Chains A and B, each alone.
Chain A
């Protein structure tokens, strides 16, 4: 079992080692009676969003869950070529 608090704060890097930022939150979607994770909230604007200050402008803050290749210790590794959306 994973817990939310054990996933928050991890670094997010691509497979070739490029750092994208830190994961401040997990974005989810309620589908019927299920709550499915759709992405990682990352970066400076991600911090703002984590404190509830987002919503303005459309700067990218999030990495889709599909791009995550593995969770390696305290690190999310995402596919090469992944950018914030």
Chain B
């Protein structure tokens, strides 16, 4: 039986089509962690350059929390956030690289095999920089890292310099990450930024794969464990 209002029928059909053409790519926690990491790293950079070490310490803890949570989510999170979903071996990476210059190659679902390298590299480098920061000694001996009592003044100063230089290397890798996103946008006409904000992307055909959400309790459990760990680090494990 047809509806009394054909225009409304059309509207609903259109909405249904659009809904079917939305593919969910990233869950809320993954997106939130991504942008919070951007904001926290930005604040770390500013407070470090300005020698506002009191605030620098807190933003460092925020970065540590986010990275540890992201690692946890890489094992127990939603499907596209998991390392097993995107980390590929040399063969997978080479196969992907062979067609990377094709402008019409298919859009990868989640991180592509090369993007995966930068994800792992960036997470590892952020963790390294934070690690050096935890044991770094402030030249004024005032706002040193929470684990600096385990090293001498001289060792801690050396670690502070490593903390500084590894952040510079990290900035280069972040630069490459941004250039890659620009390359996909301009050359391959693939917008990778919008899905990282909205969580989904528009597809021309019905998606083969859809996001499998991890339950909320699993995020809460991880948050509790990671918070306890970051707290223990912040007091230098002196309970």
Q: Do A and B bind each other?
A: no
